[in-house]
């Protein structure tokens, strides 16, 4: 399992462009059937635009259950955990309703 350091890949982890950088690295590994551990070491908070671009975009190619199985997180904060959780819940419910 690769450990991707969000700050090293995305810099500030502040916006959609930063999220797109992390998304690219995640998908490179997932397409090789590799699991990914994302480290948020040194990052205190992330906005929804970053989470949408880096993680929620994965729902276009993978199911929520596949993502839960293949993508793990370490060295997060309560705010980061809540942002990721709330965005996935909202998107999963919204996409299910379509």
Look at residue 93 in the predicted model and tell me its pLDDT: 83
Q: What's this model's pTM, rounded to 2 decimal places?
A: 0.92
Range of the domain at 78: 2-97
Distance CA 40, CA 55 (A): 13
Residue with the two structure tokens 């916006």: 15
| pLDDT of residue 4 exceeding 80 | yes
Contact 2, 9 (CB under 8 A): no
- Total of domains in the chain: 1
Confidence category of residue 97, pLDDT binned at 50, 70, 90: confident
């Amino acid at each position: 399992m690769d450990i991707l350091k969000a700050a090293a890949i995305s810099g500030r982890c502040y916006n959609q462009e930063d999220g797109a950088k992390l998304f690219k690295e995640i998908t490179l590994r997932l397409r090789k059937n590799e699991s990914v551990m994302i480290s948020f070491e040194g990052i205190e908070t992330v906005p929804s635009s970053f989470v949408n671009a880096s993680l929620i975009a994965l729902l276009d190619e993978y199911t929520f259950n596949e993502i839960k199985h293949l993508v793990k997180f370490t060295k997060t904060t309560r705010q980061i955990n809540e942002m990721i959780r709330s965005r996935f819940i909202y998107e999963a419910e919204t996409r299910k309703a379509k």
